[in-house]
Amino acid sequence: MIGSTLTKFEMRRRRSDTVAVALIKIWAITAIVILIVIIGYIMFKGMVSQSLQESQSIPKLSTTDQGFVVIANKKSGLRSMSYDVLRQFYDGRSFSLRKISQVNEDVKLYFETGLKSSVSEYLLLDEKSLQRSEALEASTSDVVAYVSANAGGIGLVSEAIDLPNNVIVLQLDDVVLAVHPSVTELLGNIKLSKIAQENVEPLLEGAFSNWKDLQGQDLEIVVVNSLQQVKQTPGAVAPVGFRDAYLEDVQTLQILSSQTKKNFTFRYIWEKPIEMGKYGGISTIIGNTLLMVFVTLLFSVPLGVGSAVFMVEFRANKRLLSIARTGVDLLAGVPSIIFGLFGLLVFVQLAGWSFSLLSGSMTLALMVLPTIIRTSEEALLSVSPSLKEASVALGATKWETIMKVLLPAASPGIVTGIILAIGRAVGETAP
């Protein structure tokens, strides 16, 4: 009877253990999967970013009356060009690619001999504007060569033939969405000024019947084919050339398009930051961080390990040793902002080193010193006394025992402390 009761109790206990282990495994696997998903999402968002771009012209849509082809260097980061941006370049109102393609290059403009009148007419520019842009007029082959040689090169040629591998043809977006003034007027709290790119084609194909379907007025949508009809018909909309819309001074809708770009590229790592990191890359940030950590370790490691050796091997004054150990423990708990204020007062102002590599490294050295001292001290204390006694028995001096026996034996713990110090130094180092 007793044996039967014990058997049932043992079976229930085993079932409970099995259920508990299964639940623990399920929770562990679930936590790991969630962690992997979170890390993967963070990595994906870090590698690739999406942003909304507002443009006057409709992306990937152009007229056929341009009279020239736009070419550019691949390093410019350009794959397409809108009419208004091209006009700003050749009008001399913009000279950099930073705001266009996030590339730190100045624009170098060229156009083929014989295209001057066509370019002026198409872009609505006069002689003075072209001169202001410093665009160079040259033969077709020379324009291609110049564009190939300059990372910010942009050229206008009649035909794109035999282009080098680093020169590409740009899509020129010069079509806008012209609308009647009634579409964009403010009525109550409603004013339509922009439209998503994915809604442009359905709009022109008649998928929408009223502007309120696109967050606009309660007004019937009328798709027409000419600027004159747009100007005369309330609620009218039509795709027209940017140049024609500019000349007729008609209302247009801004186009919102989503653009995906790679964040983590070789260019991003190699280039230096521009305008406080708004443009460019992170090369100098990485380099300065590594250099500052290296200089910090040059000061902190010898001093920290030496202090640990003194506290372990030279205990003549126990009161002084206790005070020193207490001070080290207190420094380990001081916030980094206090060290920063101390460095600003002592190294920057009193010592006169200004905001330099040396003042920053000295401040970091003071901050990581407690970590190195305490970990090195614990590593030295963990060394077996028999090693020290054997060294002394063989006739080694105290210095030789420390350098050739104690420090090598404690090196794993000392290196661990140095790694922890590096981690804190890197974490506290500002770009």
More confident residue, 9 or 38: 38
Stated length of the chain:
431
Q: What is the pLDDT of residue 30?
A: 94
Please give the CATH topology (third level) of the domain spanning 69-173: D-Maltodextrin-Binding Protein; domain 2 (3.40.190)
Q: What is the pLDDT of residue 175?
A: 92
Local structure of 24: helix, strand or coil: helix
Name the residue among 404, 412, 411 with its Cα closest to residue 387: 404
Is the pLDDT at 415 greater than 90? The verdict is yes
pLDDT of residue 316: 65
Q: Distance (Å, rounded) from C-alpha 47 to C-alpha 278?
A: 17
CB 269 within 8 A of CB 282: yes
DSSP three-state, residue 126: coil
Contacts of 397 (CB under 8 A, 6+ apart): none
Q: 297: phi > 0 → left, psi -120 to 50 → alpha, else beta; which?
A: alpha
The backbone torsions φ and ψ at residue 374, rounded to the nearest 5 degrees and listed phi first, read -70, -45
Q: How confident is the model at residue 43 (pLDDT cuts 50, 70, 90)?
A: confident
Query: For residue 110, what are the CA distances in angstroms to 107, 189, 257?
Result: 10, 47, 29
State whether residue 77 is helix, strand or coil. Answer: coil
Q: Which fold has domain 175-262?
A: D-Maltodextrin-Binding Protein; domain 2 (3.40.190)
410-429: string of b/e by CB count within 10 Å (b at 16+)? beebbeebbeebbeebeebb
What is the mean pLDDT of the segment spanning 127-134?
85
Intrachain domains 69-173 and 175-262 with the same fold: yes
pLDDT at site 6: 54
Query: Would the pLDDT of 171 be above 70?
Result: yes
Residue 3's pLDDT band (cuts 50, 70, 90): low
CATH superfamily for 282-428 is MetI-like (1.10.3720.10)
Taking each helix axis from N to C end, the angle separating 318-332 and 357-381, rounded to the nearest 10 degrees, works out to 120
pLDDT in tens, 55-69: 888 888 888 777 899
Q: Quote the CA–CA distance of 270 and 264 in Å, as a whole number.
A: 11
Domain positions in the chain: 2-48, 69-173, 175-262, 282-428
| DSSP one-letter string for 362-409 | HHHHHHHHHHHHHHHHHHHHTS-HHHHHHHHHTT--HHHHIIIIIHHH
- The 3-state DSSP composition of the chain as helix, strand, coil percent (nearest 5) reads 55, 15, 25
Closest CA to 178 of 219, 235, 121, 216: 235
For residues 423 and 31, give the distance between their C-alpha atoms in angstroms, rounded to a whole number.
26
- Range scoring the smallest mean pLDDT among 174-178, 202-206, 295-299, 328-332: 328-332
pLDDT at 128 over 80: yes
**Tens-place pLDDT, residues 268-311:** 778 777 777 667 778 888 888 889 889 999 999 999 999 999 88
| pLDDT exceeds 60 at position 5 | no
CB 370 within 8 A of CB 332: yes
pLDDT confidence of residue 146? 94
> Structure pTM?
0.65
